[in-house]
Amino acid sequence: MASTPTQTPKDPSVFEPRIVAFLCKWCSSAGSDLAGVSRMQYPSNAVPITVMCSGSVSPVYILSAFNKGADGVLVSGCHPGDCHYLKGNYFARRKIFLVQKLLSFIGIEKDRFRMSWVSAAEGAKFAQVVEEFVRDIRTLGPQRKLKAKR
Amino acid sequence: MVDIVNIRAHAKDLLEKGTVKMVLGYQRGTAGVLAEPAFITDAGQADHLVWDPTCVQNLALYLVNEKKAQSHQRDPDTRPIAIIAKGCDSRAVAVLLQERHFERKDVHVIGVSCGTLGVVDKNKLSKALNGRVATKVEPHGTDSFKVTTAEGFVDVAAADVLADRCLECACAYPAMHDVVFGEKHEDRGYPARFTALGQLEAKSEDERWAYWEGHFNRCLRCYACRSVCPMCYCPECVVDSIELMVDPTTSADEKANRIKWIERSAVASENSMYHLVRAIHLAGRCIDCAECERVCPVDIPIRMLNNKLEKEAKDMFGYEPGLDPELPSLVASFRDDDPNSFIR
């Protein structure tokens, strides 16, 4: 659990990772909600985007997030067997696996792209996943490889 | 050995009987040594057909194009099309059948086996000839080519001039065919599949990024790789975003802010987006005909991206594209024991 309360620092020289989190509506989004209503402390770096199912996350969304400057991308869905649409997360698992392999093949750090299973009851797990992710990305530094130079 | 006379006779027979409307094959090209695609509709022209190691193109592309053209015709000719297919091309046809792009009865596959050889790489050939210009390439024995130049004949070892993909080919014999010419050879004596990929994978993360960044930087975004790919048949490509419903009430804002996943400018970040999206869209569909790499004007090793996903699909999901048109596709299927350990 979060041991130190995180505050948004005003100092621009401190690197604050920006994480895009694609959360499925039925499990992970509810899980993040639970973390919130339970007043759990976890870093505020993740921008949640609710999608109907982790299986609906197109690889283009993930690449586009990196392109628009995300330092990390998280895709989170229901545990295997718990999908609201019965098998959406199984499809997601295959797709995400391939995207992850491709990204690391062209030389993007493996830790920048993560997938997790978080159920609606796992508010604590969601907080922990985000916390670990933010910690890992802090050590990696900003993502510049795929970011559009605009 | 494949005797062209037999292929010509078969094509002529098909066209005379009228069982097919067209034979897709190869004829002598007018520019350079490579053969060019031939669209034979008249039995008298069947004698133009050639088959030699310069027949590099994947003709499955023209099946797709023909299907597109048909959808615009008022009274389309629905007879099947015959296609001369190498091992890789026949797998491309199998993938298109798997995706229900057309039906099995719409295509007549004239398989040709590459045997122990394959097709030549034009760049490797001119390098091996030291500037002499080849006018004809013929198979010579099981492991060399007899190349005709203006100065006479040269014997070139096949391993020196074969295209990269042919060196690693696992399917020189067309698995799916209606009729087949040439025989099957189990051991071709070339490097194993994914040898070149393995060398690239063995590099460090930074080296790999430097490698790909350098290549993506040079991309012109001419989309030749997309145009030549038989699997890239979407009516609107995700990188174009040209089809926006415009009516009198569409505001300038809406037009300007339509969803553009990828900018059209040829800068490194957008180019890498394009190549990654292209690779992902071909996951489990690419049959490694390497046409994308061949047509690339700036020699980006596009094939390696496709190879990587093909290898992962094979190792982790036991999936090989183009072997069985009845199987569900890679990303439209799953198994309970798919890898799960990478997920938190």
Model confidence at A1, pLDDT cuts 50, 70, 90, reads: very low
B309 contacts A102? CB cut-off 8 A: yes
Query: Quick one: average pLDDT of B142-170?
Result: 90
SS3 readout for B65-131: HHHHHHCCCCCCCCCCEEEEECHHHHHHHHHHHHCCCCCHHHEEEEEECCCCCCCECHHHHHHHCCC
CB A68 within 8 A of CB B318: no
Domain count, chain B: 2
Query: Quick one: average pLDDT of B173-190?
Result: 87
CB B83 within 8 A of CB B24: yes
For the stretch A6-12, contacts whose Cβ atoms lie closer than 8 Å and that sit 24 or more positions apart, written own/partner, are: A6/A41, A6/A42, A6/A43, A6/A44, A8/A44
Cβ of B311: how many Cβ atoms within 10 Å? 17
Domain-embedded: residue A117: no
The answer on B70 and B219 residing in a single domain is no
The answer on B104 and B202 residing in a single domain is no
A67 contacts B262? CB cut-off 8 A: yes
The answer on B204 and B103 residing in a single domain is no
Residue ranges making up the domain that contains B112:
1-121+163-193
Domain-embedded: residue B326: no
Domain-embedded: residue B170: yes
Which of A66, A85, A97 is best to mutate for the B interface (most B CBs within 10 A)? Answer: A97
A22-45 pLDDT, tens digit per residue, is 999 999 999 999 999 999 999 999
Model confidence at B235, pLDDT cuts 50, 70, 90, reads: confident
Q: Is the pLDDT of residue B187 over 80?
A: no
A54-103 pLDDT, tens digit per residue, is 999 999 999 999 999 999 999 999 999 999 999 999 999 999 999 999 99
Domain-embedded: residue B145: no
Q: Is the pLDDT of residue B52 over 80?
A: yes
Query: Quick one: average pLDDT of B74-82?
Result: 92
CB B181 within 8 A of CB B113: yes
Q: Is the pLDDT of residue A150 over 80?
A: no
A107 contacts B209? CB cut-off 8 A: yes
Query: Quick one: average pLDDT of A120-137?
Result: 95
| pLDDT value at residue B256 | 79
Chain A contact present for B237, CB below 8 A:
no
CA nearest to B217, candidates B281, B293, B270:
B270
Indicate the residue of B206, B238, B316 with minimum beta-carbon distance to A107: B206
The answer on B307 and B225 residing in a single domain is yes
Residue ranges making up the domain that contains A65:
23-109+125-135
The answer on B201 and B184 residing in a single domain is no
B264-288 pLDDT, tens digit per residue, is 888 999 999 999 999 999 999 999 9
The answer on B227 and B217 residing in a single domain is yes
Q: Is the pLDDT of residue B167 over 70?
A: yes
CA dihedral of residues B94, B96, B102, B107 (deg, nearest 10): -40
Domain-embedded: residue B25: yes
B336 contacts A145? CB cut-off 8 A: no
Question: Chain B contacts of A106, Cβ < 8 Å?
Answer: 208-209, 212, 272, 276, 305
CB B341 within 8 A of CB A100: no
- ipTM of predicted assembly, 2 dp: 0.90
| pLDDT value at residue B83 | 96
Domain-embedded: residue B339: no
CA nearest to A21, candidates A53, A55, A47, A60:
A47
CB A99 within 8 A of CB A113: yes
CB B55 within 8 A of CB B139: no
The answer on B281 and B186 residing in a single domain is no
| pLDDT value at residue B142 | 84
Domain-embedded: residue B184: yes
Domain count, chain A: 1
Domain-embedded: residue A54: yes
CB A127 within 8 A of CB A137: no
Share of chain B above pLDDT 90, in %: 67
Contacts of A53 (CB under 8 A, 6+ apart): A24, A25, A26, A77, A83, A84, A85, A88, A89, A92
Q: Across chain B, what does the average pLDDT equal?
A: 91
For residue B300, give Cα distances in angstroms to B11, B238, B292, B307, B308.
37, 21, 9, 14, 15
Lowest-pLDDT range of A6-10, A85-89, B111-115, B144-148:
A6-10
Which of A101, A114, A135 is best to mutate for the B interface (most B CBs within 10 A)? Answer: A101
The answer on B116 and B236 residing in a single domain is no
Lowest-pLDDT range of A3-12, B100-109, B114-123, B249-258:
A3-12
Q: Is the pLDDT of residue B226 over 70?
A: yes
Cβ–Cβ pairs < 8 A, chains A and B: 105
The answer on B204 and B188 residing in a single domain is no
For the stretch B236-242, contacts whose Cβ atoms lie closer than 8 Å and that sit 24 or more positions apart, written own/partner, are: B238/A60, B238/B262, B238/B277, B238/B281, B239/B264, B239/B274, B239/B277
Domain-embedded: residue A52: yes
Domain-embedded: residue A115: no
Q: How are beta strands B179-181 and B107-112 bridged, if at all?
A: parallel
Domain-embedded: residue B153: no
Residue B301 per-residue DSSP state: -
Q: Is the pLDDT of residue B189 over 90?
A: no
Chain A contact present for B306, CB below 8 A:
no
Q: Is the pLDDT of residue B31 over 70?
A: yes
B311-342 pLDDT, tens digit per residue, is 999 999 999 999 889 999 999 999 988 888 88
> A116: which 2 tokens?
């997790």
Question: Chain A contacts of B309, Cβ < 8 Å?
Answer: 98, 101-102
Domain-embedded: residue A6: no
Which of A28, A60, A89 is best to mutate for the B interface (most B CBs within 10 A)? Answer: A60
Q: How are beta strands A19-24 and A46-51 bridged, if at all?
A: parallel
The answer on B209 and B95 residing in a single domain is no
Domain-embedded: residue B97: yes
**Residue B136 to residue A135: CA distance in whole angstroms:** 62
Residue length, chain B?
A: 344
Model confidence at B91, pLDDT cuts 50, 70, 90, reads: very high
| pLDDT value at residue A10 | 63
The answer on B243 and B213 residing in a single domain is yes
**Residue B161 to residue A123: CA distance in whole angstroms:** 60
The answer on B45 and B189 residing in a single domain is yes
> B125: which 2 tokens?
């050939």
For residue A135, give Cα distances in angstroms to A139, B84, B288.
7, 57, 40
| pLDDT value at residue B48 | 92
